[in-house]
Chains A and B, each alone.
Chain A
Amino acid sequence: MIDVQNLTKRYGQATVVDSLTFTVRPGAVTGFLGPNGAGKSTTMRMMLGLTRPDTGTARIDGRAYVDLTYPLRHVGALLETSAPHRGLTARDHLRWLAQSNRIDPGRVGQVLETVGLSDAARRRIGTFSLGMGQRLGLAAALLGDPPVLVLDEPVNGLDTEGIRWLRDLLRSMADEGRTVLISSHLMTEMALVADHLVVIGRGRLLADTGMSEFLARHGRSSVRVRTPEPERLARELASSGATVTRIPGGGLDVVGMPAADVSRIAAKGGFPLDELSTHAGSLEDTFLGVIDQAGAAHGTGVDDGTTGTTGSTGSTGTTGEEGRNSRV
């Protein structure tokens, strides 16, 4: 369980994270979404005690990260900006990590096996490909068999097989009752793996809700029809108030009209239908819609009816490039 309360971080004039409050519950994969510069990485660094918040707290199972005894046994973390020394071998890197938290040295071999790096254990990290480096980072996160995982862009650099492996791993971790928080800019990937979503924009909470509720509430579902005479049917539907777009292959995408009405209009006009199906909005479209809406409402207060408070009105200049403050 990760509990973020009223977290705020400013860098000079820019408020990168703005009064953020949400919890990440065990037993589910929670996706952390937001456009570049929304403050995801900064929030994750504050959870892990690397960046000091200006106000607010981030607690993991009731304690701040820096107060955890042997933290790697509680939290497995992967950050985009954390990279092991290139001169170490993969094995030595995991060995010192294990020693620092009194983790059984036997775990080193196990996690290398888990991420498929056993053959590269004695290679220096500087010779690793992007994907291998990412696997090593995941091995380090899994080392202490932690009940909480915080992973920033974990699929970066992984190949298709690696992505599928990670998806299965995260699923099984959540099913075992662990808390899993992942950020990703890949919406299709997020749609496949996340049960719950925390969406932020300009450092503020936009949504904290289940994946299906998020799509149902904010997504635009559509009806797809396929007929030999698409132009005429499109005219008929449009005259009845639907928004119709042609899709490749002779189909029509109908928004703003239930499938039953589409079917009735088609029957009345004598159109033979090759296909009639309803589609929930994609996570990508829904996410972009929510971000757009928040951007439009920015400064006048955002109320999208979700559980989170979205901050007070009138604070401007909250943009900040993600990672710009990760200078050493």
Chain B
Amino acid sequence: MSETLAAVRAETTKLRGIRGTQVSLLLFAAVSILIAALGGWSAKNALESDNPSLRSDFTPEQAGLDGILYGQLALIVFGVLVVTSEYTSGMMRVSLLAVPRRGRLYAAKMGVTALAALTASVPVTVLGYLVTQAALGSHGSSLGASGVPRALAGSVVYLTLMCLFAAGVAAIARSAVVPLAVLLPMVLAGTHILSLIGATKEMARYFPDQAGNELLTVDSPHTAFGFTVLLAWTVAAVGWGWVRQRRWDS
């Protein structure tokens, strides 16, 4: 057990020391909160000028979670980079010399990635929500509004799982290019477009991000469904990544 804890500490130091991963975590916080502020501010203007461009289902509570939808892109990049930083140089060999048990190394890496995503997601989610409400001014809601604590917790779970999912996909691919080329467009637009087309609407519900969005939706009736689907994707990606790691022969 203490060997595993030592590996976890080492992975934490690696994660802190590598600039790319640090920058992506900072971007996650910056983008989420910036979009939260801009979203709140423009919604406030729209409300006060009776602008019809405002979504019909607009609620200040839901608007407080919009920043996350953009910030998550940086967190996905973070999850991918944490894993692929081992493959860009000969780092994986050094890591395996230090921690030759592949299961221990992989578990430590994934555990630290999840922990970092979780630790960053809590303040960013809460702060993003509060910033939106502040920007909305008199139209803003509160942290304790109905369904909000649950949606904020759902957001933290969603972000952590999406980050782990990305890390798992990167472990499968062993390179950053393919995971980023697939995951970023998917999350940005792909599944949203599918969900608008009648024929693919039902299918789109089962994509990790679309399913996970149920966790971010205030008072969603499908939270359990969304959580289960996203969890299944994450377990599958991390599991397949483990198979690839175990077979890795340098």
A residues sitting closer than 8 Å to B (CB atoms) are 45, 48-52, 65-66, 68-72, 77, 79, 81-89, 92-93, 95-97, 99-102, 124, 140, 326, 328
A220 to B174: give the CA distance in the assembly, Å: 51
Count of A-B contacts with CB under 8 A? 100
Q: Can you list 24 A-B contacts (CB < 8 A)? A: A50-B93, A50-B249, A50-B250, A52-B249, A66-B100, A72-B98, A79-B97, A82-B91, A82-B94, A83-B90, A84-B89, A85-B91, A87-B18, A87-B19, A92-B14, A92-B16, A92-B17, A96-B11, A96-B13, A96-B14, A97-B10, A100-B7, A101-B6, A101-B98
Write out the residue numbers on chain B whose beta carbons fall within 8 Å of the beta carbon of A97: 10, 94, 98
B20 at the binding interface (Cβ < 8 Å): yes
**Are A71 and B98 closer than 8 Å at their CB atoms?**
yes
**Are B97 and A328 closer than 8 Å at their CB atoms?**
no
Write out the residue numbers on chain A whose beta carbons fall within 8 Å of the beta carbon of B101: 66
B85 to chain A, nearest CB (A): 5
Write out the residue numbers on chain B whose beta carbons fall within 8 Å of the beta carbon of A95: 13, 17
A89 to B3: give the CA distance in the assembly, Å: 24
Closest 10 pairs between A and B when the two form their complex, measured CB to CB = A100-B10, A82-B93, A92-B17, A83-B90, A96-B13, A66-B100, A82-B90, A100-B98, A96-B10, A99-B10
Write out the residue numbers on chain B whose beta carbons fall within 8 Å of the beta carbon of A140: 94
**Are B17 and A89 closer than 8 Å at their CB atoms?**
yes
**Are B17 and A100 closer than 8 Å at their CB atoms?**
no
Nearest CB in chain A to that of B11: its residue:
A96
A85 to B93: give the CA distance in the assembly, Å: 11
A72 to B93: give the CA distance in the assembly, Å: 13
**Are A100 and B90 closer than 8 Å at their CB atoms?**
no
8 Å CB contact of A49 from B3, B13, B94, B100: B100
B163-216 contacts to A (CB < 8 Å): 174
B2 at the binding interface (Cβ < 8 Å): yes
A211 to B164: give the CA distance in the assembly, Å: 54
8 Å CB contact of B17 from A45, A48, A88: A88
Nearest CB in chain B to that of A126: its residue:
B89
**Are B250 and A51 closer than 8 Å at their CB atoms?**
yes
Interface residues of A: mostly helix, strand, loop or mixed?
loop
**Are B9 and A100 closer than 8 Å at their CB atoms?**
yes
B92 at the binding interface (Cβ < 8 Å): yes
8 Å CB contact of A84 from B6, B91, B250: B91
B residues sitting closer than 8 Å to A (CB atoms) are 2-3, 6-7, 9-11, 13-14, 16-20, 85-94, 96-101, 174, 249-250
Write out the residue numbers on chain A whose beta carbons fall within 8 Å of the beta carbon of B20: 87
A125 to chain B, nearest CB (A): 9
Nearest CB in chain A to that of B92: its residue:
A328
Write out the residue numbers on chain A whose beta carbons fall within 8 Å of the beta carbon of B13: 92, 95-96, 99
A83 to B249: give the CA distance in the assembly, Å: 16
**Are B17 and A96 closer than 8 Å at their CB atoms?**
yes
| Interface core residue of A77, A81, A82, A84 (most chain B CB under 10 Å) | A82
A100 to B5: give the CA distance in the assembly, Å: 8
**Are A99 and B97 closer than 8 Å at their CB atoms?**
no
Write out the residue numbers on chain A whose beta carbons fall within 8 Å of the beta carbon of B16: 92
**Are A85 and B18 closer than 8 Å at their CB atoms?**
yes
A96 to B249: give the CA distance in the assembly, Å: 23
**Are A69 and B3 closer than 8 Å at their CB atoms?**
yes
A66 to B91: give the CA distance in the assembly, Å: 18
Write out the residue numbers on chain B whose beta carbons fall within 8 Å of the beta carbon of A45: 250
**Are A326 and B250 closer than 8 Å at their CB atoms?**
yes
A272 to B100: give the CA distance in the assembly, Å: 67
8 Å CB contact of B91 from A71, A83, A92, A326: A83
- Apart from A69-B3, A82-B90, what 14 extra A-B contacts exist at CB < 8 Å? A50-B250, A65-B100, A66-B101, A81-B93, A84-B89, A84-B91, A85-B89, A88-B14, A88-B18, A92-B14, A97-B94, A326-B250, A328-B87, A328-B250
A70 to B89: give the CA distance in the assembly, Å: 23
Nearest CB in chain A to that of B105: its residue:
A100
A65 to B86: give the CA distance in the assembly, Å: 21
Write out the residue numbers on chain B whose beta carbons fall within 8 Å of the beta carbon of A86: 88-89
Nearest CB in chain B to that of A79: its residue:
B93
Write out the residue numbers on chain B whose beta carbons fall within 8 Å of the beta carbon of A72: 97-98
**Are A70 and B90 closer than 8 Å at their CB atoms?**
no
B141 to chain A, nearest CB (A): 42
**Are B94 and A70 closer than 8 Å at their CB atoms?**
no
A51 to B102: give the CA distance in the assembly, Å: 12
Knowing A70-B3, A92-B17, say if A48 contacts B97 (CB, 8 Å): yes
